[in-house]
Chains A and B, each alone.
Chain A
């Protein structure tokens, strides 16, 4: 259950017609009736079915690929390998394009892409796959950063000597000075595991060619990046690549990279001249990877007597898996946002991302942050304990304030972390519980937050970040909002329609949104970095305001105030009018009004189509140091979460019994959708804290590519969630909005882990905190105590 709760009341959403309201999702009926189309529902005549041929070795040179038996199978239409496709390398970080459509020489992990088979139906594809024979020369492999870093370790890529894919060394302020000033210094080491997003719709792409143009339909989080990369990889003009996305069944960062389904579908449909559908089985989603990196984190922090942080030294080692993908950005994100949350000047941050012979890691909700947040929030609790401070007090002492600039150059406008801590403390009963619960029961706090959209495009460009367009029907009764914003389930279509309605003063229920289509809709970078509400929101708001401006000008010519006794006589000026909920009225005399539709129709008769245009670019953000771009954003959310847990001291089993989230999310466009994000974030974060881990055998073969052995929490495992909003206002956001989608996952791991620590009195440092690892932690602590006793 979630409570509507306004604490700070900094925005004026009470006077809005649509923004701030729990309106029904625009895709609700499509989704609950099953009539909405996901990619697997799409069929085209003559469509071929295709799958990838995958490596069965973790690291090996391909000696020969024998496709002859498979080719003989009736129904097989094409079998392609590296020799049949462009050899250009791709990825998401231009500095590290290192992935080929199909492996050219060596396979780099068990499951790597070797080729693809297209056939007349699914059954034939599966049969053909079994007939492919690949001959390998097996090479030694590395599966952990420690193995990858060893002297003489096998080299996975020529371009990454020592298997180091990304190396970061940054220092801000003067750490040595901080060290001198510190009253107390402490070091903690913790580690986080590889996890996966857990969306239920596996990747799938259908492509077909019409002349020189290709139409790509995919499961993706971004129309634009898919279009951009397909054009780049296949040496085409962007205008010749049409990308459309049907409804997308979840993404969480796992559908930002170009998937093997995308490149294989485009290549196969070109070769066969038929529409081709390339699809993953669930296990292949694990093999495709791009989830959270495994990380080892070390923090050394100095504080004053009062708990004020005077310096932090952070070192993060990432297990990157086989390719870069988004991993360079991930590496920067592990360190860059720490001093958005906490206000301190002296900060040293080192990171190393190693390539290993495992599926590549990338972005997963909270991109690069949840593990470091987990580690630092745990570390902070220990520092508070050393000082005899309440964990919430030390967070309040260090919480960043609004209108400040971080040492690494981010401008933070609205920021209410202190208030979030206070409210979370009060609603959770923290004061009555902390330190007073019986053994086996504990309460913990964690802070987090995120960027509201990345400050820069993923590749170098001068394009705007979002363009909105609204078209009004000829008769003025309906509006179409165009944007390439991608609703992957989070509800961006709904909030963008709410925002368009508010901006135009036009009824919400009379708007249709046209999205996820590069031919029809207008540029937006898509759903990542929690950007849609703010960035696509600005573009749509401005398009709506453009419409409204034109409507008011037109209406001023049509509306007449009474000559006698009216508020004034004579010709009206547009500034004297306003438009709300489908009616244009005289502000001083609302009884004098006219319907939007009538005005719009008159506009159409006179000028032709009524179109509104909106543009958004965040401007130049951030400092000039290496990597300064990662972490820049027009706005930063903050959040405090508290969890209460019960740990079975004999089995080590943790039950999360209560959770509280207080969000500084700016103006909340649709509170119900925000609460949905918070519930989902808790489920994801609790799962990652207690259960989830991607596991491989000693040869790098995936062991748990399914939802039975990769255990995410079920509804029965979920506690009560109390989600509260601070109702703040962000000057850089349309109507004052900020993000919630990813930020909400970032405090969860820390708060649950701290609650477990509070319950059992032992810090288990490696995620996930499985029953067995807690059991072991308790046993070891008992043994240590016995030793001490002796």
Chain B
């Protein structure tokens, strides 16, 4: 395995990065941690002539809480930085845990949250939990900045709505009323395995009644999807094990998984049922975990 030849730019500002992306068009590819781009290039799945490194862009590296806005996570933050961030741990341990359970330590040390999202792989681990918490993505291009709900960023397997000259600069988890959230990843071994099914749930519970619920399913549709029927089924109902189980059955009807070398569609569907039930139980009873 050998990397093909390419030209490399290391822009000093987001603006310059976007200009370079615009200039080289489809010949160019942004690279953050490279844990996906380089692997694909070595395997002949990708052959950009120009790589534009986002690694030097310090504005992409912040994690902060901005009152009135929410938790801001720069796109260049690595998975281990997400995991270890006190800001994130205090507000949303569930996000820290989602980062902790992905890939392996080497990949977590290099791979970024921006790369994880922009890759738009159906089995990616960060989208479900961020979508369930209502996160938005800030997208910057040569023509300016726009903000989208994260769930609207994905257009299909490996495809986002980003224009050629655009990059994601940050994600914002807005302040909200969720009392609990969690992401359950079901992979085929304890470490270094992609999700066969990933289910995130965020809930707002008052006096045992579910006021609001969001369920996001990963690895079972072309993009991360919300189980909206299950969400509305839960609304204003008394939380109980039976209720979670029923929501699981509904959610499992809302996904369109494929069969591949990791699992069959039939199995994935049933795992959506199991993990929706378990995720709801955890989010309702344990808070942000």
What residues make up the interface of A, taking CB atoms closer than 8 Å to B?
A: 122-123, 126-127, 281, 283, 650-651, 653, 691, 695, 703-704, 707-709, 711, 713-717, 770-772, 775-776
Contacts of A703 in B (CB 8 A): 261
Measured in the bound complex, the distance between the Cα atoms of B192 and A651 in whole Å is: 19
Measured in the bound complex, the distance between the Cα atoms of B191 and A715 in whole Å is: 9
**Neighbour of B189 across the interface among A126, A691, A695, A704, CB < 8 A:** A691
B189 touches A772 (CB 8 A): no
The answer to whether B84 has its CB under 8 Å from any CB of chain A is no
Given contact pairs A695-B261, A703-B261, A772-B263, A651 touches B188 in the complex (Cβ within 8 A): no
Contacts of B274 in A (CB 8 A): 650-651
Binds A, one of B131-139, B147-155, B264-272: B264-272
B1 touches A691 (CB 8 A): no
Contacts of B1 in A (CB 8 A): 126, 281, 283
The answer to whether B162 has its CB under 8 Å from any CB of chain A is no
Residue on A with the closest CB to B264? A772
Measured in the bound complex, the distance between the Cα atoms of B153 and A389 in whole Å is: 61
Contacts of B188 in A (CB 8 A): 691, 711, 770-771
**Shortest beta-carbon contacts, A-B, top 6:** A716-B190, A126-B2, A714-B191, A772-B267, A717-B190, A650-B274
Contacts of A713 in B (CB 8 A): 189
The answer to whether B193 has its CB under 8 Å from any CB of chain A is yes
Contacts of B178 in A (CB 8 A): none
Contacts of B262 in A (CB 8 A): 709
Measured in the bound complex, the distance between the Cα atoms of B208 and A501 in whole Å is: 74
The answer to whether B186 has its CB under 8 Å from any CB of chain A is yes
Contacts of A709 in B (CB 8 A): 261-262
In the assembled complex, the CB of B35 is this many whole angstroms from the nearest CB of chain A, namely: 11
In the assembled complex, the CB of A108 is this many whole angstroms from the nearest CB of chain B, namely: 24
What are 28 contact pairs spanning A and B, CB under 8 A? Answer: A122-B2, A123-B2, A126-B2, A127-B2, A283-B1, A650-B274, A651-B186, A653-B186, A691-B188, A691-B189, A695-B261, A704-B261, A708-B193, A708-B194, A711-B188, A711-B189, A711-B192, A713-B189, A714-B104, A714-B189, A714-B192, A715-B191, A716-B191, A771-B188, A772-B263, A772-B264, A775-B270, A776-B267
Centre residue among A711, A715, A772, A776 by max chain B CB count within 10 A = A772
Which DSSP category, helix, strand, loop or mixed, fits chain A's interface? loop
Contact bitstring B245-276, A, C-beta under 8 A = 1, else 0: 00000000000000001111001001100100
Contacts of B104 in A (CB 8 A): 714
Contacts of B193 in A (CB 8 A): 708, 711
Measured in the bound complex, the distance between the Cα atoms of B203 and A11 in whole Å is: 66
Residue on A with the closest CB to B44? A130
In the assembled complex, the CB of B107 is this many whole angstroms from the nearest CB of chain A, namely: 10
Measured in the bound complex, the distance between the Cα atoms of B186 and A123 in whole Å is: 39
Residue on B with the closest CB to A125? B2
In the assembled complex, the CB of B160 is this many whole angstroms from the nearest CB of chain A, namely: 23
Contacts of A711 in B (CB 8 A): 188-189, 192-193
What residues make up the interface of B, taking CB atoms closer than 8 Å to A?
A: 1-2, 104, 186, 188-194, 261-264, 267, 270-271, 274
A651 touches B261 (CB 8 A): no
Residue on B with the closest CB to A51? B2
Measured in the bound complex, the distance between the Cα atoms of B3 and A127 in whole Å is: 10
A651 touches B189 (CB 8 A): no
Residue on A with the closest CB to B2? A126
Measured in the bound complex, the distance between the Cα atoms of B262 and A707 in whole Å is: 14
Measured in the bound complex, the distance between the Cα atoms of B192 and A127 in whole Å is: 31
Contacts of A704 in B (CB 8 A): 261
Residue on B with the closest CB to A773? B267
B267 touches A717 (CB 8 A): no
Contacts of B194 in A (CB 8 A): 708
New A-B contacts (11) at CB < 8 Å, excluding given A281-B1, A714-B104: A122-B2, A123-B2, A653-B186, A703-B261, A708-B194, A709-B261, A709-B262, A716-B190, A717-B189, A717-B190, A775-B270
Measured in the bound complex, the distance between the Cα atoms of B193 and A360 in whole Å is: 27
B190 touches A651 (CB 8 A): no
Measured in the bound complex, the distance between the Cα atoms of B190 and A713 in whole Å is: 8
B267 touches A775 (CB 8 A): yes
**Neighbour of B190 across the interface among A281, A695, A708, A714, CB < 8 A:** A714
Residue on B with the closest CB to A771? B188
Contacts of A771 in B (CB 8 A): 188
Residue on A with the closest CB to B103? A708
Contacts of B271 in A (CB 8 A): 651
Contacts of A770 in B (CB 8 A): 188
Residue on A with the closest CB to B262? A709
Residue on B with the closest CB to A652? B267
Contacts of A695 in B (CB 8 A): 261
Residue on A with the closest CB to B273? A650
Contacts of A651 in B (CB 8 A): 186, 271, 274
Measured in the bound complex, the distance between the Cα atoms of B193 and A707 in whole Å is: 10
Measured in the bound complex, the distance between the Cα atoms of B188 and A716 in whole Å is: 12
Residue on A with the closest CB to B193? A711
Residue on A with the closest CB to B278? A650
Measured in the bound complex, the distance between the Cα atoms of B194 and A704 in whole Å is: 14
Given contact pairs A126-B2, A281-B1, A708 touches B189 in the complex (Cβ within 8 A): no
In the assembled complex, the CB of A743 is this many whole angstroms from the nearest CB of chain B, namely: 26
In the assembled complex, the CB of A38 is this many whole angstroms from the nearest CB of chain B, namely: 19
In the assembled complex, the CB of A61 is this many whole angstroms from the nearest CB of chain B, namely: 26
Contacts of A122 in B (CB 8 A): 2
Contacts of B267 in A (CB 8 A): 772, 775-776
Contacts of A716 in B (CB 8 A): 190-191
In the assembled complex, the CB of A754 is this many whole angstroms from the nearest CB of chain B, namely: 21
Residue on B with the closest CB to A655? B190
In the assembled complex, the CB of B195 is this many whole angstroms from the nearest CB of chain A, namely: 13
Measured in the bound complex, the distance between the Cα atoms of B267 and A714 in whole Å is: 24
Measured in the bound complex, the distance between the Cα atoms of B192 and A715 in whole Å is: 11
Measured in the bound complex, the distance between the Cα atoms of B42 and A122 in whole Å is: 13
Measured in the bound complex, the distance between the Cα atoms of B189 and A713 in whole Å is: 7
Contacts of A127 in B (CB 8 A): 2
In the assembled complex, the CB of A70 is this many whole angstroms from the nearest CB of chain B, namely: 15
Contacts of A281 in B (CB 8 A): 1
Residue on B with the closest CB to A127? B2
Contacts of B186 in A (CB 8 A): 651, 653
Centre residue among A122, A281, A651, A711 by max chain B CB count within 10 A = A651
Contacts of A772 in B (CB 8 A): 263-264, 267
Residue on B with the closest CB to A703? B261
Residue on B with the closest CB to A697? B261
Measured in the bound complex, the distance between the Cα atoms of B194 and A717 in whole Å is: 15
Residue on A with the closest CB to B1? A281
Measured in the bound complex, the distance between the Cα atoms of B203 and A497 in whole Å is: 65
